[in-house]
Structure 1
Amino acid sequence: MQVSEVIGRKSRALGEKLRKSLTKQAHLPYVGPISLWIIAFVFAPLGVMLYFSLLSAGDWGAIIHTFTFENYQFLFKGKYLTILLRTLGFAFAANMICLLIGYPIAHSIVAYGGRWKITLLFFIILPSWICFLVRIYALWSLTSYGGVINTVLLNLGLIEVPLAILGTPYIVMFGLVLTYIPYMVLPIYASLEGLDPSLLEASADLGATPLKRFLTVTLPLTKGGIFAGIILVFIPCLGAWALPLLLGGGKVMLAGNLIALHFTAVGNIPMGSSIASTLTALILLILYLCIKGGGKGMLERVA
């Protein structure tokens, strides 16, 4: 009897190992192509960029294949550091504005949208279906010296000379918020929609005020949506290039513009690669912190 039990246990263990092995092998045809795609189009370009960032540029844009950290030393001093900090400041400010505007919008749709929820979400997402450059040029035409805003104000006699809206940090910030606020609303809406109403009812029965219910129940349970929104807004703001170029008119230099300048006009590919590598490291750090804070599940729900 004991021998049969031992044989039975060993047979079951062997069968379990065989099942796991077959399961892993069955997944290989699906995981293999995805892994090759990620290696070829994500890790390989990042490796090339990191390699060039450790080189130096000679005359007429020639690349000197000698490893050096001078590019990173230049990056954290003088005007380079100023532009990098300005980029972080713009991305952080745009993120906070999107959060302060997007959370009430998402909450209002969930609480009062009723049967119009999908329609309201459709109108929030609709601008994202239009070409990014078309939206920027539309905003440019509205705010230029001879644009709609200045023309209306001049005709009404409210101003005597056209306002200098373009080429200021304010229009760049407005453009960032206007472009990326849907990406803040959607994950927060998803988290609010999945909130159990009985929790709010229970807190109300226990005597919690509306503000206390929001701070102790709603806000903690929707932090995943907030972190997901931060990821979806902060990353594109950090690498913004076309928007500050067109709306800022070259007067508002961000890290994305600095990278493009070194790769095209200056011809200093190693320096441009070092700036891009630094931004990539910052993005990875932000992703890690937000996902660790609870944004992973909500990102999967939004996707």
Structure 2
Amino acid sequence: MKNKLLAWLSAPYILWMALFVVAPLVVVVIYACTTADWDLTLQNFTGMFNYVTVFGRSFLLAAIATLVCILAGYPAAYLLARSRPGFRRIANMLIMLPMWMNFLLRTYSWMFLLERNGLVNTVLRNLGVFSLINGVNEGLNGLLGTALPTDVAYFGFLGSYGTVILGMVYNFLPFMILPIFSVIEKIDPKVIEAAQDLGANSRQVFSKVIFPLSLPGVLSGVTMVFIPSVSTFVISRLLGGGKTTLLGDLIEMQFTGSAYDPHVGSAVSLVMMVIVLVCMGIMNRFGEGESEAVLL
């Protein structure tokens, strides 16, 4: 009786998954394995070699953004977990506050800050930074006889890899902080006290106890940052100035751009999904190995 009740209760969820997850995935597979005339082919996959640079750039920038999120997010999560409850509530609200705004608006705000006549360049111009640079360049030109530029009016932030990484870090950093914070917060203080009683110093307590126990949160954060970073197209389009083509841009162009070819776009999507699943499997196996090492 109980099993029948659970089956009835789970029926809407199963129907939802079938309609909006399984069915679209089947359609993607069909498109990826067919031509415009609906003939079976593997040419859509063999043509992936034309986009090796895009794949490499996407995974490299996503990996760098994920690494930066770890370096910035882990200390923040650790300090947050060890802070007083009142400060913790305020800090959590400040971390989540940007997430209440639309993703597109958050990205547009960085364009306002970093464009040629944006806030950052305007402040630097008013501080005389560009005049100083031009003066130094003119002096070097006269001293060395070189041809250095002498008319620097702004810094071209937009259209660079660094700005795209900045956009990824800004938008996805909370997804790194919160999982790590939730895991560190649940570490039993008695475990830390036991390690200290056994003679471990602060560095050893962190490296031998806290970090291994917090690794599940780190791996969850890596997954939640890396996957949207490798598939984003809004950040690369707006902050990359159309000069930084990532996988998300490539897929979007195949479905809505001038290079309309949903069969190639489906193949790229499928290959990207397989690569991401492999990366997730490797990280999960790594996490299991670390957990077993801690238990031993």
TM-score between both structures, scaled by the size of structure 2: 0.87
Q: Is contact 1:184–1:229 with CA below 8 Å preserved after alignment?
A: yes
Q: Does the alignment pair 1:274 with 2:267?
A: yes
Over 3 Å counting, the alpha-carbon distance change for 1:122 and 1:195 in structure 2 is same
Choose the corresponding residue for 1:138, options 99, 106, 109: 109
**Residue in 1 aligned with 2:8?**
29
Partner of 2:235: 243
Q: Is 2:96 the counterpart of 1:117?
A: no
| Cα deviation, residue 285, structure 1 | 2.6
1:163-207 alpha-carbon deviations (Å, 9 max, x no partner): 110000000000000100000000000000000111111111111
Contact 1:263 1:272 in 2 (8 A): yes
Deviation of the 1:29 alpha carbon: 1.2
Supply the distance in 2 between the matched residues of 1:30 and 1:119 (Cα, whole angstroms): 39
Residues 180-199 of structure 1 aligned to structure 2 (within 5 Å): 180-199=172-191
Task: Please list every run of 5 or more consecutive structure 2 residues that lacks an aligned counterpart in the other structure.
Answer: 131-151, 289-296
Residue 12 of structure 1 aligns with which residue? Answer: none
**How far has the Cα of 1:120 moved from its partner?**
0.6
Q: Secondary structure at the match of 1:162?
A: coil
Q: Give the conservation status (yes or no) of the 8 Å contact 1:228–1:290.
A: no
Give me the whole-angstrom Cα distance separating, in 2, the residues matched to 1:147 and 1:23. Answer: 62
How many residues are paired up?
266
Q: CA deviation at 1:116?
A: 1.3
Partner of 2:53: 82
- AA aligned opposite 2:79: S
Structure 2 counterpart of 1:105, one-letter code: A
Paired with 2:41 and 2:100, the residues of 1 have a C-alpha distance of 44
Looking at structure 1, the residues matched to 109 and 206 of structure 2 have their Cα atoms a distance apart, in angstroms, of 38
- Give the aligned residue type for 1:71: N
Please say which of residues 113-122 and 235-244 is displaced more in the overlay.
113-122
Indicate whether 1:156 and 2:127 are aligned: yes
**Residue 112 of structure 1: CA displacement?**
2.7
Query: Does 2:197 correspond to 1:205?
Result: yes
CA distance in 2, matches of 1:48, 1:276: 12
For the residues of structure 2 that align with 1:117 and 1:234, how far apart are their CA atoms? 26
Distance change in 2, residues 1:289/1:25 (3 Å) = farther
Contact 1:106–1:189 (CA under 8 A) maintained in structure 2? yes
SS in 1 for 2:129: coil
User: How far does residue 122 in structure 1 lie from its aligned partner after superposition?
Assistant: 0.8
**Distance (Å, rounded) in 1 between the aligned partners of 2:213 and 2:107:** 36
Flag as ranges the 4+ runs of structure 1 deviating above 3 A: 286-295
Q: Is the 8 A contact 1:224 1:293 kept in 2?
A: no
Identity of aligned residues (%): 32
Task: Return the alpha-carbon distance in structure 2 between the equivalents of residues 166 and 82 of structure 1.
Answer: 21
Question: Structure 1 residues 237, 215: closer, same or farther in 2, change over 3 A?
Answer: same
Query: TM (normalized to structure 1)?
Result: 0.85
**Cα deviation, residue 111, structure 1:** 1.5
Distance in 1 separating the partners of 2:169 and 2:32? 31
What are the equivalent positions in structure 2 for 1:36-115 lying under 5 Å apart? 36-56=15-35, 63-75=36-48, 77-78=49-50, 80-115=51-86
Amino acid at match of 2:44: N
Name 2:292's counterpart in structure 1: none
Q: Distance in 1 between matches of 2:105 and 2:284?
A: 33
8 Å CA contact 1:113, 1:120 repeated in 2: no
CA displacement at 1:293 relative to structure 2:
4.8
C-alpha distance after superposition, 1:234-280 (max 9, x if no partner): 11111101110011011011000001111122111111110111122
Deviation string 1:94-132 (CA, Å, 9 cap, x unpaired) is 111101110000101111344211111110011011011
Shift of 1:135: 0.7
Map 1:165-184 to 2 at 5 A.
Answer: 165-184=157-176
User: What RMSD, in angstroms, separates the aligned Cα atoms of the two structures?
Assistant: 1.4
CA 1:30–1:286 in structure 2 vs 1: closer, same or farther (change >3 Å)?
A: farther
Higher alpha-carbon deviation: 225-234 or 277-286: 277-286
Asked which structure has the greater CA Rg, the reply is 1
Deviations 1:19-46 (A, max 9, x none): xxx2211101111111111011001101
Give the partner amino acid of 2:269: A
